[in-house]
Amino acid sequence: MIGKGIEGIDINMPKDAYDTGKDTPTFRAYLTIIVRDSEGKVVKVHRQKSHSPTANFIGLMLPLTYFNVTGNSYTLKNTGGTTYNYKPAINPTAQCISYPYSFSNYPSYIVMIQVGSGQQSNPYTAYSLAAPIANGSGTGQLIYGQPSVPSNVTVSGIEAYFTISQTFNNNSGGTVTITEVGIITYLQFSESYNASYFNFGQVLVWYDVLSSSISVANGGSVTIYYTFTINP
Amino acid sequence: MVTPDLVSEEDIVKLIIPDNLPDEEPTFKAYIEAKVYDKEGHLIQYHRQPMRSLTQYFLALMAIPIIGTYQGASINQAPVILTNVLGLPSSLSGNYSANILWDWAIQLGSGTQAFSPTLTGLAAPILNGTGAGELSYGSLSVSYVGSTIYISIQVTNTTSSAISVTEIGLIGTIYIQYNNSSINKYSFLFSYDTFSTAVSVPALGMAVFQITLSFTG
């Protein structure tokens, strides 16, 4: 029996929790944006802290125990607004994130770092960019390069990080302005019992509104780096 | 042609891990809490401290929702970061299809050790049991509110002596299911922290340990 409530105890953060000199965040994410002109010269470097995993990311991180104990599923929402009740399980008929296989493949992969010209106030609930900039050379468009993914986590002392990046070229004939950035992953959920699967499509897992807009001149390019680091 | 830049490639490497940005709210905050009860159920100790020490394996787990499990739409191999850091296979063979999922657990210990992002275990894990120096681990509880995930476990000391807890780790297990009912398991240490002051679970008492992972959003 628990006889005494927690209200009788001083639950303020104990002094020893503030370990002066080491009271640093466990994890940080950074955005670095490098803008080049038509001659390849760097004309702007923009850096800011990234704040915004989306609700989709949180749901995908949840461990099996959450689903087993609560019996709940987690509602994911793709960029088109379609929902999916995600509920992984140790069960051949449970649909979980697909994995490379010899017999059948339903790739789940990073599609792109997507850029946009809008913004939205609640990144957590965002499931798409407010105003995605299309891939192309038309007015207001940028040519999307391929996302670059590292082959390892870099460890330096107690710090470790990985960075993904992508370059965009502006052949639109005019300046293109970026105000929002997000990471889009393509997800498919498959069973191990048979080859059945659910093709969920593109999912926004990370989203940031830039602290100041980025202008990319015609003929220029911009490279966006997302860095995820622990014990910074 | 790319002319000499204001920023060299070497500088870019430094720029992507900036150390001079304004001291804004961190992206991620994590805490460890312990509530200790005596044998009569009275709360006798409450301890809370920031978690400081995620490992590279947690970072690699985070990479799965971000970069996926395939190298691309038509490349049927796992991203190299997953094979290098987590030791997952680049692909599996068999019939039907394959998928991936993971679970977490809390492990307590009675030792201490220096932290490294490549650490793989606690210094002196406290075993699950009723023998001397052992604690009976209850069921893990996981919940979330918004972008904060809570993981907690209740342990009971059924021995006749107090047990001192000095370290705590978040243990992760990744499962790959394939070929109908085959399962491969991979275990990791996702975080490691020592308590700033030891948490003593009295004889016949119990304690609840909670890890809070808060993505502030």
Q: What 3-state class would DSSP assign to B189?
A: strand
Number of domains into which chain A is organized: 1
Q: Evaluate whether residue A18 is within a structural domain.
A: no
Is A216 a residue whose pLDDT tops 50? yes
What are the domain boundaries of chain B?
A: 25-53+99-215
Would you say B186 and B174 are in contact if contact means Cβ atoms under 8 Å apart? Answer: yes
d(CA B51, CA A34): 33
B80 contact residues in A (CB cutoff 8 A): 149, 151-152
B15 contact residues in A (CB cutoff 8 A): 32, 34, 45, 47, 225
**Could you report the per-residue pLDDT of A93-147, keeping only the tens digit for each?**
999 999 999 888 999 999 999 999 999 988 899 999 999 999 999 999 999 999 9
**Could you report the per-residue pLDDT of A40-53, keeping only the tens digit for each?**
999 999 999 888 89
Would you say B129 and B136 are in contact if contact means Cβ atoms under 8 Å apart? Answer: yes
The fraction of chain A above a pLDDT of 70, given in percent, is: 89
A163–B46 C-beta distance less than 8 A = no
B37–A230 C-beta distance less than 8 A = no
Q: Evaluate whether residue A148 is within a structural domain.
A: yes
Environment class of residue B135 by beta-carbon count within 10 Å: exposed (0-12), middle (13-18) or buried (19+)? Answer: buried
Environment class of residue B131 by beta-carbon count within 10 Å: exposed (0-12), middle (13-18) or buried (19+)? Answer: exposed
Our measurement of the distance from residue B174's CA atom to the centroid of its chain's CA atoms, rounded to an integer in Å, reads 12
Is B38 a residue whose pLDDT tops 70? yes
Q: Evaluate whether residue A154 is within a structural domain.
A: yes
Chosen for mutation from B17, B75, B86 (greatest number of chain A CBs closer than 10 Å) is: B17
Would you say A206 and A124 are in contact if contact means Cβ atoms under 8 Å apart? Answer: no
Q: Which amino acid is at A146?
A: Q
* Shortest CA gap A114–chain B (Å): 13
Is A175 a residue whose pLDDT tops 90? yes
Is B32 a residue whose pLDDT tops 70? yes
Question: Could you tell me whether strands B98-109 and B163-178 are parallel, antiparallel, or unpaired per DSSP bridges?
Answer: antiparallel
Q: What average pLDDT does this structure show over A74-81?
A: 98
What lies within 8 Å, CB to CB, of A227 at 6+ separation is: A29, A30, A31, A32, A161, A162, A163, B16, B17
* Shortest CA gap A111–chain B (Å): 8
pLDDT at B54: 92
The fraction of chain A above a pLDDT of 90, given in percent, is: 77
- The mean pLDDT value of chain A amounts to 89
Q: Evaluate whether residue A3 is within a structural domain.
A: no
A88 contact residues in B (CB cutoff 8 A): 99, 101
Is B9 a residue whose pLDDT tops 70? no
pLDDT at A22: 44
Structural domain harbouring A60 = 27-230
pLDDT at B51: 86
In angstroms and rounded to an integer, the radius of gyration of the C-alpha atoms of chain B is 21
Would you say B103 and A63 are in contact if contact means Cβ atoms under 8 Å apart? Answer: yes
Confidence of residue B168 (pLDDT cuts 50, 70, 90): very high
